Amino acid sequence: MKEVMSGNHAVSYGAMLSRAQVIAAYPITPQTQIVEMLSEFCRTGRLKAKFIKVESEHSALAACIGASIAGARAFTATSAQGLALMHELIHWAANGRMPIVMADVNRSMAPGWSIWTDQNDSLSQRDTGWLQFYCESNQEVIDTIIQGYKIAETVLLPVMVVLDAFVLSHTSEGVDIPEQKLVDKFLPPYKPQYKMDLNQTLAFGALVTPDYNFELKYQIQEAMEYSLTLARKVDKEFKRFSGRNYGLIEPYRCARAEIILVTSGTITSTAREVIDNLRKQGEKIGLLKIRMFRPFPAQEVIEALEDCKKVAVIDRNIGYGVGGILCQEIKSAFCNNARRPEIFGYITGIGGRDVTPDTIMEIVIDVRKNNKADNRIKYVGLRKLR
Protein backbone atom coordinates (compact mmCIF):
# COMPACT_ATOMS: atom_id res chain seq x y z
CA MET A 1 0.00 0.00 0.00
CA LYS A 2 1.41 3.32 -1.03
CA GLU A 3 0.98 6.45 0.94
CA VAL A 4 2.39 9.91 0.72
CA MET A 5 4.26 10.74 3.88
CA SER A 6 7.11 12.72 5.33
CA GLY A 7 10.40 11.18 6.32
CA ASN A 8 9.46 11.61 9.94
CA HIS A 9 6.25 9.71 9.48
CA ALA A 10 8.13 7.04 7.63
CA VAL A 11 10.16 6.62 10.80
CA SER A 12 6.96 6.31 12.83
CA TYR A 13 5.58 3.73 10.45
CA GLY A 14 8.83 1.83 10.53
CA ALA A 15 8.73 1.66 14.32
CA MET A 16 5.09 0.65 14.30
CA LEU A 17 5.59 -2.08 11.71
CA SER A 18 8.53 -3.34 13.75
CA ARG A 19 6.19 -3.59 16.70
CA ALA A 20 8.36 -1.54 19.00
CA GLN A 21 7.17 -2.28 22.54
CA VAL A 22 8.59 0.57 24.50
CA ILE A 23 9.10 4.02 23.07
CA ALA A 24 10.74 6.76 25.02
CA ALA A 25 11.42 10.06 23.39
CA TYR A 26 11.72 13.75 23.99
CA PRO A 27 10.64 16.34 21.46
CA ILE A 28 13.21 18.20 19.43
CA THR A 29 12.80 19.89 16.09
CA PRO A 30 12.93 18.40 13.50
CA GLN A 31 12.17 15.04 15.09
CA THR A 32 8.86 15.97 16.74
CA GLN A 33 6.52 14.51 14.14
CA ILE A 34 8.02 11.10 14.70
CA VAL A 35 6.98 11.00 18.34
CA GLU A 36 3.71 12.77 17.74
CA MET A 37 2.62 10.11 15.31
CA LEU A 38 3.89 7.32 17.52
CA SER A 39 1.92 8.64 20.48
CA GLU A 40 -1.11 8.68 18.26
CA PHE A 41 -0.45 5.09 17.21
CA CYS A 42 -0.18 4.13 20.88
CA ARG A 43 -3.35 6.01 21.74
CA THR A 44 -5.41 4.35 19.06
CA GLY A 45 -3.95 0.96 19.78
CA ARG A 46 -2.50 0.59 16.30
CA LEU A 47 0.74 0.06 18.13
CA LYS A 48 0.71 -1.91 21.35
CA ALA A 49 3.52 -0.13 23.07
CA LYS A 50 4.28 1.82 26.19
CA PHE A 51 5.25 5.35 25.36
CA ILE A 52 7.30 6.91 28.16
CA LYS A 53 7.15 10.64 27.86
CA VAL A 54 10.50 11.41 29.39
CA GLU A 55 11.93 14.72 30.44
CA SER A 56 15.10 14.55 28.35
CA GLU A 57 16.83 12.62 25.63
CA HIS A 58 19.19 11.29 28.25
CA SER A 59 16.25 9.71 30.00
CA ALA A 60 14.77 8.64 26.68
CA LEU A 61 17.69 6.46 25.87
CA ALA A 62 17.98 5.37 29.52
CA ALA A 63 14.38 4.22 29.47
CA CYS A 64 15.02 2.39 26.21
CA ILE A 65 18.00 0.71 27.81
CA GLY A 66 15.82 -0.35 30.73
CA ALA A 67 13.15 -1.64 28.37
CA SER A 68 15.67 -3.47 26.26
CA ILE A 69 17.35 -5.20 29.19
CA ALA A 70 13.94 -6.27 30.42
CA GLY A 71 13.37 -7.95 27.07
CA ALA A 72 11.30 -5.44 25.12
CA ARG A 73 11.92 -3.96 21.67
CA ALA A 74 12.72 -0.33 22.30
CA PHE A 75 12.66 2.68 20.05
CA THR A 76 13.61 6.30 20.30
CA ALA A 77 14.23 9.22 18.00
CA THR A 78 16.15 12.42 18.40
CA SER A 79 18.29 15.02 16.80
CA ALA A 80 21.45 17.09 17.35
CA GLN A 81 21.50 18.41 20.93
CA GLY A 82 19.32 15.53 22.01
CA LEU A 83 21.71 13.01 20.57
CA ALA A 84 24.62 14.78 22.21
CA LEU A 85 22.84 14.70 25.54
CA MET A 86 22.39 10.96 25.08
CA HIS A 87 26.07 10.48 24.48
CA GLU A 88 26.84 8.70 27.75
CA LEU A 89 24.02 6.28 27.15
CA ILE A 90 24.89 5.87 23.50
CA HIS A 91 27.99 4.15 24.85
CA TRP A 92 25.94 2.39 27.51
CA ALA A 93 23.56 0.88 24.99
CA ALA A 94 26.37 -0.37 22.79
CA ASN A 95 28.59 -1.68 25.58
CA GLY A 96 25.48 -3.26 27.06
CA ARG A 97 24.79 -4.90 23.69
CA MET A 98 21.26 -3.57 23.52
CA PRO A 99 19.48 -3.88 20.20
CA ILE A 100 17.78 -0.50 20.38
CA VAL A 101 16.88 1.28 17.16
CA MET A 102 17.02 5.05 17.09
CA ALA A 103 16.21 7.51 14.37
CA ASP A 104 18.42 10.56 14.27
CA VAL A 105 17.25 13.47 12.19
CA ASN A 106 20.50 15.14 11.22
CA ARG A 107 20.62 18.69 12.50
CA SER A 108 23.48 21.08 12.93
CA MET A 109 24.89 21.37 16.43
CA ALA A 110 24.39 24.56 18.42
CA PRO A 111 25.39 27.20 19.12
CA GLY A 112 24.04 29.19 17.53
CA TRP A 113 20.74 27.54 17.30
CA SER A 114 20.09 25.73 14.08
CA ILE A 115 17.38 23.33 13.10
CA TRP A 116 18.80 22.56 9.67
CA THR A 117 20.67 19.59 8.52
CA ASP A 118 24.27 18.47 8.60
CA GLN A 119 25.80 15.26 9.81
CA ASN A 120 28.02 16.38 12.65
CA ASP A 121 25.57 15.23 15.31
CA SER A 122 25.40 11.60 14.22
CA LEU A 123 28.99 11.37 13.07
CA SER A 124 30.14 12.50 16.53
CA GLN A 125 28.78 9.16 17.69
CA ARG A 126 30.62 7.08 15.12
CA ASP A 127 32.99 5.33 17.59
CA THR A 128 30.39 4.36 20.16
CA GLY A 129 29.55 0.92 18.82
CA TRP A 130 26.28 1.84 17.10
CA LEU A 131 25.53 0.76 13.57
CA GLN A 132 24.73 3.78 11.39
CA PHE A 133 22.63 3.91 8.26
CA TYR A 134 22.22 7.14 6.26
CA CYS A 135 18.98 7.25 4.27
CA GLU A 136 18.31 8.80 0.93
CA SER A 137 14.53 8.55 0.72
CA ASN A 138 11.48 8.15 2.89
CA GLN A 139 11.04 4.64 1.54
CA GLU A 140 14.55 3.82 2.62
CA VAL A 141 13.81 5.25 6.04
CA ILE A 142 10.84 2.98 6.71
CA ASP A 143 12.65 -0.03 5.29
CA THR A 144 15.86 0.64 7.20
CA ILE A 145 14.07 0.92 10.52
CA ILE A 146 12.64 -2.55 9.97
CA GLN A 147 15.94 -3.97 8.76
CA GLY A 148 17.66 -2.22 11.65
CA TYR A 149 15.82 -4.26 14.26
CA LYS A 150 16.56 -7.48 12.49
CA ILE A 151 20.26 -6.71 12.40
CA ALA A 152 20.42 -5.21 15.90
CA GLU A 153 18.72 -8.14 17.56
CA THR A 154 21.01 -10.61 15.89
CA VAL A 155 24.35 -8.94 16.58
CA LEU A 156 23.21 -7.35 19.86
CA LEU A 157 24.26 -3.86 18.91
CA PRO A 158 22.11 -0.73 18.64
CA VAL A 159 21.27 0.79 15.30
CA MET A 160 21.00 4.45 14.36
CA VAL A 161 18.93 5.30 11.30
CA VAL A 162 19.86 8.77 10.08
CA LEU A 163 17.86 11.12 7.89
CA ASP A 164 18.40 14.74 6.88
CA ALA A 165 16.41 17.43 8.60
CA PHE A 166 13.64 18.87 6.46
CA VAL A 167 15.08 17.63 3.18
CA LEU A 168 13.81 14.24 4.22
CA SER A 169 12.12 14.66 7.58
CA HIS A 170 9.58 17.19 6.38
CA THR A 171 9.40 16.29 2.76
CA SER A 172 6.56 14.11 1.60
CA GLU A 173 7.05 11.30 -0.84
CA GLY A 174 5.13 8.28 -1.89
CA VAL A 175 6.07 5.42 0.39
CA ASP A 176 5.16 1.81 0.00
CA ILE A 177 4.15 0.56 3.42
CA PRO A 178 5.08 -3.09 3.78
CA GLU A 179 2.36 -5.45 4.85
CA GLN A 180 2.40 -6.06 8.59
CA LYS A 181 2.06 -9.79 8.13
CA LEU A 182 5.12 -9.92 5.97
CA VAL A 183 7.07 -7.68 8.33
CA ASP A 184 6.13 -9.95 11.22
CA LYS A 185 7.49 -12.92 9.34
CA PHE A 186 10.67 -11.07 8.55
CA LEU A 187 11.05 -9.71 12.07
CA PRO A 188 9.85 -12.16 14.70
CA PRO A 189 9.31 -11.02 18.30
CA TYR A 190 12.42 -10.12 20.27
CA LYS A 191 13.57 -13.06 22.38
CA PRO A 192 16.88 -12.22 23.98
CA GLN A 193 19.04 -14.89 25.58
CA TYR A 194 20.10 -12.60 28.41
CA LYS A 195 17.64 -10.26 30.03
CA MET A 196 16.31 -9.19 33.40
CA ASP A 197 14.53 -12.38 34.27
CA LEU A 198 13.46 -13.83 37.59
CA ASN A 199 14.60 -17.26 36.48
CA GLN A 200 18.08 -16.13 35.58
CA THR A 201 18.91 -13.66 38.38
CA LEU A 202 21.78 -12.16 36.50
CA ALA A 203 23.52 -8.90 37.26
CA PHE A 204 24.29 -6.70 34.30
CA GLY A 205 27.16 -4.31 33.93
CA ALA A 206 29.18 -4.84 37.09
CA LEU A 207 32.64 -3.47 37.60
CA VAL A 208 34.90 -5.10 35.02
CA THR A 209 38.51 -5.48 35.97
CA PRO A 210 41.30 -5.21 33.38
CA ASP A 211 41.25 -8.99 33.50
CA TYR A 212 38.12 -9.14 31.39
CA ASN A 213 37.42 -5.79 29.82
CA PHE A 214 39.70 -6.09 26.81
CA GLU A 215 37.93 -9.24 25.69
CA LEU A 216 34.49 -7.73 26.24
CA LYS A 217 35.35 -4.70 24.08
CA TYR A 218 36.90 -6.97 21.49
CA GLN A 219 33.60 -8.84 21.23
CA ILE A 220 31.90 -5.60 20.18
CA GLN A 221 34.35 -5.18 17.32
CA GLU A 222 33.78 -8.80 16.36
CA ALA A 223 30.04 -8.20 16.31
CA MET A 224 30.54 -5.06 14.23
CA GLU A 225 32.54 -7.02 11.69
CA TYR A 226 29.93 -9.73 11.55
CA SER A 227 27.16 -7.21 11.09
CA LEU A 228 28.56 -6.32 7.63
CA THR A 229 27.82 -9.82 6.43
CA LEU A 230 24.59 -9.90 8.32
CA ALA A 231 23.33 -6.56 7.00
CA ARG A 232 23.87 -7.79 3.43
CA LYS A 233 21.96 -10.97 4.19
CA VAL A 234 19.13 -9.09 5.89
CA ASP A 235 18.93 -6.63 3.00
CA LYS A 236 18.53 -9.53 0.55
CA GLU A 237 15.97 -11.20 2.75
CA PHE A 238 14.06 -7.94 2.88
CA LYS A 239 13.92 -7.84 -0.88
CA ARG A 240 12.29 -11.25 -1.01
CA PHE A 241 9.05 -9.94 0.43
CA SER A 242 9.22 -6.23 -0.40
CA GLY A 243 10.98 -6.22 -3.72
CA ARG A 244 13.34 -3.54 -2.40
CA ASN A 245 16.88 -3.62 -1.22
CA TYR A 246 19.62 -1.05 -0.80
CA GLY A 247 22.96 -2.69 -0.17
CA LEU A 248 25.48 -1.38 2.30
CA ILE A 249 26.67 0.93 -0.42
CA GLU A 250 25.13 1.59 -3.77
CA PRO A 251 27.31 2.15 -6.85
CA TYR A 252 25.25 4.13 -9.35
CA ARG A 253 26.27 4.11 -13.01
CA CYS A 254 29.83 3.33 -12.08
CA ALA A 255 30.55 1.04 -15.02
CA ARG A 256 33.87 2.15 -16.55
CA ALA A 257 33.53 5.46 -14.75
CA GLU A 258 36.65 7.60 -14.53
CA ILE A 259 35.19 9.89 -11.87
CA ILE A 260 33.01 8.67 -9.05
CA LEU A 261 31.26 10.97 -6.63
CA VAL A 262 30.76 9.61 -3.09
CA THR A 263 27.70 10.80 -1.20
CA SER A 264 25.46 9.98 1.72
CA GLY A 265 21.96 11.01 2.72
CA THR A 266 19.82 13.15 0.44
CA ILE A 267 22.74 14.64 -1.46
CA THR A 268 22.74 11.29 -3.20
CA SER A 269 19.41 12.00 -4.88
CA THR A 270 20.63 15.35 -6.09
CA ALA A 271 23.83 13.81 -7.36
CA ARG A 272 21.93 11.07 -9.21
CA GLU A 273 20.31 13.73 -11.36
CA VAL A 274 23.64 15.34 -12.19
CA ILE A 275 25.17 11.96 -13.00
CA ASP A 276 22.24 11.05 -15.26
CA ASN A 277 22.69 14.28 -17.17
CA LEU A 278 26.45 13.86 -17.54
CA ARG A 279 26.11 10.21 -18.60
CA LYS A 280 23.64 11.34 -21.24
CA GLN A 281 26.38 13.65 -22.47
CA GLY A 282 28.72 10.67 -22.54
CA GLU A 283 30.86 11.49 -19.57
CA LYS A 284 32.35 8.51 -17.72
CA ILE A 285 31.11 9.46 -14.35
CA GLY A 286 29.36 7.51 -11.61
CA LEU A 287 28.15 7.78 -8.05
CA LEU A 288 28.73 5.77 -4.90
CA LYS A 289 26.16 6.09 -2.13
CA ILE A 290 27.38 5.21 1.32
CA ARG A 291 24.36 3.86 3.15
CA MET A 292 26.03 2.02 5.98
CA PHE A 293 28.62 4.15 7.67
CA ARG A 294 29.18 1.97 10.78
CA PRO A 295 30.53 -0.55 10.50
CA PHE A 296 32.30 0.97 7.51
CA PRO A 297 32.02 -1.40 4.55
CA ALA A 298 35.61 -0.68 3.51
CA GLN A 299 36.12 -3.69 1.26
CA GLU A 300 32.97 -2.98 -0.71
CA VAL A 301 33.97 0.66 -1.04
CA ILE A 302 37.42 -0.29 -2.32
CA GLU A 303 35.96 -2.65 -4.84
CA ALA A 304 33.54 0.02 -6.04
CA LEU A 305 36.17 2.70 -6.41
CA GLU A 306 39.54 1.13 -7.11
CA ASP A 307 39.04 0.99 -10.88
CA CYS A 308 38.24 4.65 -11.40
CA LYS A 309 40.72 7.48 -11.70
CA LYS A 310 39.27 10.09 -9.43
CA VAL A 311 36.95 10.04 -6.48
CA ALA A 312 35.16 13.09 -5.17
CA VAL A 313 33.88 12.59 -1.63
CA ILE A 314 31.11 15.00 -0.71
CA ASP A 315 30.79 15.55 3.02
CA ARG A 316 27.96 17.40 4.72
CA ASN A 317 30.03 17.49 7.89
CA ILE A 318 33.38 18.66 9.19
CA GLY A 319 35.73 16.73 11.31
CA TYR A 320 37.24 19.90 12.66
CA GLY A 321 40.99 19.95 12.16
CA VAL A 322 40.89 17.10 9.68
CA GLY A 323 38.20 17.61 7.07
CA GLY A 324 35.27 15.67 5.75
CA ILE A 325 34.69 12.59 7.81
CA LEU A 326 33.51 10.37 4.99
CA CYS A 327 36.56 11.42 3.00
CA GLN A 328 38.84 10.40 5.87
CA GLU A 329 37.17 7.03 6.04
CA ILE A 330 37.58 6.41 2.35
CA LYS A 331 41.17 7.56 2.33
CA SER A 332 42.00 5.29 5.19
CA ALA A 333 40.21 2.41 3.47
CA PHE A 334 42.54 2.82 0.51
CA CYS A 335 45.67 3.39 2.54
CA ASN A 336 46.92 -0.18 2.30
CA ASN A 337 45.37 -0.90 -1.11
CA ALA A 338 47.78 -1.27 -4.05
CA ARG A 339 45.46 0.37 -6.54
CA ARG A 340 43.86 3.60 -5.51
CA PRO A 341 42.21 6.53 -7.29
CA GLU A 342 42.95 10.16 -6.54
CA ILE A 343 40.66 11.07 -3.64
CA PHE A 344 39.30 14.62 -3.48
CA GLY A 345 37.39 15.81 -0.44
CA TYR A 346 34.59 18.39 -0.69
CA ILE A 347 32.65 19.90 2.14
CA THR A 348 29.27 21.41 1.41
CA GLY A 349 25.77 21.99 2.76
CA ILE A 350 26.87 22.69 6.34
CA GLY A 351 24.17 24.02 8.64
CA GLY A 352 21.48 23.13 6.14
CA ARG A 353 22.79 25.20 3.25
CA ASP A 354 21.12 24.01 0.08
CA VAL A 355 22.95 21.45 -1.99
CA THR A 356 21.59 21.76 -5.51
CA PRO A 357 22.56 20.09 -8.79
CA ASP A 358 24.66 23.20 -9.42
CA THR A 359 26.58 22.54 -6.24
CA ILE A 360 27.29 19.02 -7.41
CA MET A 361 28.25 20.32 -10.85
CA GLU A 362 30.73 22.67 -9.25
CA ILE A 363 32.36 19.67 -7.65
CA VAL A 364 32.40 17.75 -10.92
CA ILE A 365 34.04 20.66 -12.70
CA ASP A 366 36.66 20.90 -9.99
CA VAL A 367 37.46 17.22 -10.14
CA ARG A 368 37.68 17.26 -13.90
CA LYS A 369 40.41 19.91 -13.90
CA ASN A 370 42.58 18.39 -11.18
CA ASN A 371 44.53 15.25 -11.80
CA LYS A 372 46.39 15.07 -8.55
CA ALA A 373 44.64 15.17 -5.20
CA ASP A 374 46.18 16.69 -2.12
CA ASN A 375 44.98 16.93 1.43
CA ARG A 376 43.54 20.40 1.08
CA ILE A 377 39.89 20.63 2.02
CA LYS A 378 37.72 22.01 -0.73
CA TYR A 379 34.58 23.90 0.21
CA VAL A 380 31.67 24.24 -2.08
CA GLY A 381 29.07 26.92 -1.60
CA LEU A 382 31.16 28.67 1.01
CA ARG A 383 30.97 32.43 0.73
CA LYS A 384 34.25 34.25 0.70
CA LEU A 385 35.26 35.71 4.03
CA ARG A 386 37.56 38.62 4.40
Closest to 262 (Cα-Cα) out of 239, 283, 296, 286 = 286
Residue range at the interface with other proteins (CB under 8 A); choices 131-139, 194-202, 273-281, 354-362: 194-202
Distance, CA of 152 to CA of 133 (rounded, Å): 12
Residue range at the interface with other proteins (CB under 8 A); choices 68-76, 102-110, 159-167, 237-245: 68-76
**Interaction of residue 202 with other proteins, rule CB under 8 A:** yes
Residue range at the interface with other proteins (CB under 8 A); choices 31-39, 113-121, 203-211, 324-332: 203-211
Judging by DSSP bridges, how do beta strands 172-176 and 249-252 pair with one another? unpaired
Compose the 240-279 pattern: x for residues touching other proteins by CB under 8 A, - for all others: ----------------------------------------
371 CB-near residues (< 8 Å, 6+ apart): 310, 342
Residues 292-321 that bind other proteins (CB under 8 A): none
Select from 37, 64, 151, 363 the one that contacts other proteins (CB under 8 A). Answer: 64
Q: Which is nearer to other proteins, 193 or 336 (CB)?
A: 193
Judging by DSSP bridges, how do beta strands 310-315 and 259-263 pair with one another? parallel
* # chain residues binding other proteins, by CB under 8 A: 52
**Interaction of residue 355 with other proteins, rule CB under 8 A:** no
Residues 31-60 that bind other proteins (CB under 8 A): 48-50, 52-56, 58-60
**Interaction of residue 224 with other proteins, rule CB under 8 A:** no
Q: How far is the CB of 24 from other proteins (least distance, A)?
A: 6
Instruction: Annotate 304-350 with three-state secondary structure.
Output: HHCCCCEEEEEECCCECCCECHHHHHHHHHHCCCCCCCEEEEEEECH
> How far apart are the two ends of the chain, measured CA to CA in Å?
54
Distance, CA of 324 to CA of 3 (rounded, Å): 36
**Interaction of residue 201 with other proteins, rule CB under 8 A:** yes
Distance, CA of 370 to CA of 358 (rounded, Å): 19
Select from 62, 159, 257, 367 the one that contacts other proteins (CB under 8 A). Answer: 62
Rounded alpha-carbon distances, angstroms, from residue 84 to 10, 11, 87, 95, 218: 23, 20, 5, 17, 25
Other CB atoms closer than 10 Å to residue 183's CB: what's the count?
21
**Interaction of residue 97 with other proteins, rule CB under 8 A:** yes
Q: Which is nearer to other proteins, 154 or 269 (CB)?
A: 154
Residues 139-178 that bind other proteins (CB under 8 A): 156
Q: Which residues bind other proteins (CB under 8 A)?
A: 21-22, 24, 48-50, 52-56, 58-60, 62-72, 74, 88-89, 92, 95-97, 156, 194, 196-198, 200-209, 212, 215-216, 219, 223
